[in-house]
Every structure is written in structure tokens, then in C-alpha cells.
């Protein structure tokens, strides 16, 4: 195979893995923001907490990586409920600014707490041997960890798509995103729906956080470091749109990977450039409601 084709395949593969990470972590944020118009800057903190739970489960309790991911996602889903019920709920009608301040305050507290218990040094996890090394697909080899991430991402996209488009709860969520008042007046309990989506979204963020350990290394600052990226995915995709979040995650994941591959010194420059261009042309994002 020619060298150029090899590079393109590498970029597409790594970009796809990155996009799946972005999708898993951001999709909950998009739906909750679409439902309640709530600017949640603490979303990254839930991902960070998920990552540390995975670290503790694997390192201290000796649980395997994959079950640890699942446990972390479920745990964080439950942990997020009291936050939503006690704190977020009071600010649904408040201004953007107040929501930003509350959630950034929570993120700071989470960072400080985890720095206190885990220290500022990046953590890693022991992987099962089938996730280490490469997997050979005949024409070339791919890193198995990223392949696994892509498969999990694809499964989640399918499951979420089905839940969103083909189930009763999904229909209710779509109705509430489209027109909250109308949905309430036909008897949909939007508050309870929101608690549910918030918990699921936070759990998915925790899953993303667990995957991130191996990709980027986990420090308490993960909570704000990648937050801007999640917000970019949500804003460019369009609030509350599954399709939009997936498209935005793919565009940003692949272009960022390609950009870093070809211009390593540019960092995240291309991501921010795409964000500005997309938002100037389509301020509500790819599939957002104008």
C-alpha cells in the first residue's frame, strides 16, 4: 500500500476513535442542554470522576478494565442525580451567567477534591492483554484499544439512536426539546425526564472519562481541560440533536487528528477555527433549531 494511503487511513482511524470519545462524552451534555437550556460546565467533572473511579477499581480492587468502565458509568449516573435535584433544578429559569458560575464552581470543587485524594500526577490503568498491542485486519494492523473504543462508540450510537427515535421515552425527550411547554401541557413530566437524561448523560461522560485515561492520561484538570472541546461539539452540533452531536464529533475528531498529524505545532488551532467558522455561518450548529 502506498505511503499516502497509509497516512490517510491512520488519520481516519485515529480521528474516528477520537470522535467516538467526543461523542460518548458530549452526547449527554447536548441532550440536557437542549432540554433545559442549561449551560453545564461541570460535565467534564463527571467525566473526570468516572475516570478516577475506573483507576480505583482497577488498581485497588483488581477489577478488570471493562467491567470497571461499566461500574463507573452506573455509579456516576447515580451520583449525578442528587446534584441535579438539589442544585441544578433551582437554576433552570436563571440566566446563562448564573448557570456558568454555579457549574464552574462545582468543577473547581471537584478538581480540588480529587487533587487532594489522588494528587496532580497523571494516572494510568492496567489494561487486559487483548486491549494492548495491535489487531491485524489482513491489509494492515490497528491499535486494538482504539478499535475497541470505535466499536463501543458505534454500539452506543446505535443504541442511543434506537432509544431516541424508536422508544416512547425517546419520543418524549424529542418533544420536550422541541417545545417544552407544549410537552408539559400534554402531560409529559419534563422534570423527571430531565433527571433521567441527566443521569444517563453523566454516566456516559464517566464512560468517556474512563476511556480517556489511556488516550490522554488522567489528571484532576481533565474536568476543565477537555470541557471546552465537549462544549464545542455540543455547540457546533446543535443543542439536543443526536445526529448533530455525532456529525460534530466526527468533523472535529477527524480534522483535529489530521491537523495535528500534518502540523504538529498547531495544537488545537484547527478545532477553534472550525468552531468559529461553523458558528458564524450556522449559529445554532449543524442541526440546531435557529
Partner 1 sequence: MAASESMTRSVAGEAARSRAAEFLLRRHYLRWPEALPWLIAVGCFFVFPDRMTFGSQLLIMIMFALSLDLILGYAGIVTLGHAAFFGLGAYTVALASIKLGWTEPISGVFFGGAVAGLVGIVVGWFILRYRGLTLLMLTIAFAAMLQEGGNIRSDFTGGYDGLPGLTFDPLLGHFQYDLYGHTNYWYALAALAVVFFVVRRIVYSPFGQALTGIRENVRRMHSIGSPVHRRLVTVYAISAAIAGMAGALFTQTNAYVTLTVFDFDASAKVMVMLILGGTGRLYGAFLGAAVYMIFEDKLSKMSPTFWQFGIGLLLVLAVMFARRGLLGVGDTIRRKLAGRRAP
- 283 lines the binding site for partner 1 (CB under 8 A): yes
**Single residue of 11, 224, 248, 254 touching partner 1 by CB under 8 A:** 224
Shortest reach from residue 268's CB to partner 1, in Å: 6
Q: Binding mask 90-129 vs partner 1 (x if CB under 8 A, - otherwise)?
A: xx--xxxxx-xxx-xxxxxxxxxx-xx-------------
> Closest by alpha carbon to 209, among 62, 52, 58?
52
Nearer to partner 1, 80 or 275 (CB): 275
Q: How far apart are CA 213 and CA 47, in angstroms?
A: 10
> Would you state the cell numbers that stand for residue 118, as one nine-digit string?
489522588
**Single residue of 39, 69, 149, 246 touching partner 1 by CB under 8 A:** 39
Shortest reach from residue 276's CB to partner 1, in Å: 5
**Site size for partner 1 (CB under 8 A):** 47
Shortest reach from residue 253's CB to partner 1, in Å: 17
Q: Please spell the DSSP secondary structure of 12-41, one letter per residue.
A: HHHHHHHHHHHHHHHHHHHHHHHHH----T
Contact range with partner 1 by CB under 8 A, out of 161-169, 174-182, 185-193, 277-285: 277-285
> Closest by alpha carbon to 209, among 53, 47, 72, 59?
47
Q: How far apart are CA 180 and CA 36, in angstroms?
A: 8
Shortest reach from residue 207's CB to partner 1, in Å: 24
Nearer to partner 1, 13 or 88 (CB): 88
Using an 8 Å Cβ cutoff, are 251 and 244 in contact?
no
Shortest reach from residue 51's CB to partner 1, in Å: 18
Using an 8 Å Cβ cutoff, are 193 and 169 in contact?
yes
The Cα diameter of the chain in Å comes to 61
Which positions from 73 through 92 interact with partner 1, judged by CB under 8 A? 87, 90-91
Nearer to partner 1, 97 or 121 (CB): 97
Nearer to partner 1, 39 or 48 (CB): 39
- Residue 143's DSSP bridge partners are 134
Using an 8 Å Cβ cutoff, are 150 and 19 in contact?
no
Nearer to partner 1, 210 or 258 (CB): 258
> Would you state the cell numbers that stand for residue 174, as one nine-digit string?
424529542
Q: Please spell the DSSP secondary structure of 117-165, one letter per residue.
A: HH-SS-B--PPPGGGSSEEE-SS-EEEHHHHHHHHHHHHHHHHHHHHHH
Q: Binding mask 229-268 vs partner 1 (x if CB under 8 A, - otherwise)?
A: --xx-xx---x-----------------------x-xxxx
> 132's torsion region: left (phi>0), alpha (psi -120 to 50) or beta?
beta
Per CB under 8 A, residues contacting partner 1 are: 33, 37, 39, 87, 90-91, 94-98, 100-102, 104-113, 115-116, 224, 228, 231-232, 234-235, 239, 263, 265-269, 272-273, 275-276, 279-280, 283-284
Amino acid at each position: 500500500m502506498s505511503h499516502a494511503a497509509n497516512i490517510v487511513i491512520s488519520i481516519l482511524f485515529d480521528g474516528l476513535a477520537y470522535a467516538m470519545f467526543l461523542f460518548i462524552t458530549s452526547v449527554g451534555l447536548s441532550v440536557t442542554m437542549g432540554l433545559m437550556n442549561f449551560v453545564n460546565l461541570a460535565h467534564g467533572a463527571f467525566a473526570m470522576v468516572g475516570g478516577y473511579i475506573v483507576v480505583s477499581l482497577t488498581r485497588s480492587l483488581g477489577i478488570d478494565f471493562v467491567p470497571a468502565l461499566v461500574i463507573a458509568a452506573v455509579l456516576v449516573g447515580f451520583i449525578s442525580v442528587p446534584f441535579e435535584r438539589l442544585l441544578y433544578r433551582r437554576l433552570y429559569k436563571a440566566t446563562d451567567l448564573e448557570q456558568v458560575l454555579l457549574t464552574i464552581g462545582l468543577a473547581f470543587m471537584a478538581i480540588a477534591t480529587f487533587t487532594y485524594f489522588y494528587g496532580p500526577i497523571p494516572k494510568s490503568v492496567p489494561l487486559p492483554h487483548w486491549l494492548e498491542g495491535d489487531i491485524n485486519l489482513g491489509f494492515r494492523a490497528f491499535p486494538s484499544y482504539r478499535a475497541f473504543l470505535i466499536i463501543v462508540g458505534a454500539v452506543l450510537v446505535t443504541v442511543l439512536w434506537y432509544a431516541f427515535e424508536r422508544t416512547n421515552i425517546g419520543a418524549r425527550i424529542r418533544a420536550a426539546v422541541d417545545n417544552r411547554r407544549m410537552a408539559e401541557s400534554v402531560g409529559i413530566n419534563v422534570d423527571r425526564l430531565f433527571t433521567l437524561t441527566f443521569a444517563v448523560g453523566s454516566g456516559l461522560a464517566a464512560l468517556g472519562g474512563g476511556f480517556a485515561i489511556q488516550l490522554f492520561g488522567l489528571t484532576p484538570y481533565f474536568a476543565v481541560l477537555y470541557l471546552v472541546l465537549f462544549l464545542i461539539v455540543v455547540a457546533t452540533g446543535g443543542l439536543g440533536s443526536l445526529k448533530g452531536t455525532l456529525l460534530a464529533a466526527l468533523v472535529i475528531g477527524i480534522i483535529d487528528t489530521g491537523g495535528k498529524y500534518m502540523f504538529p505545532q498547531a495544537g488545537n488551532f484547527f478545532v477553534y477555527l472550525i468552531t468559529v467558522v461553523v458558528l458564524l455561518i450556522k449559529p445554532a450548529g449543524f442541526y440546531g433549531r435557529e
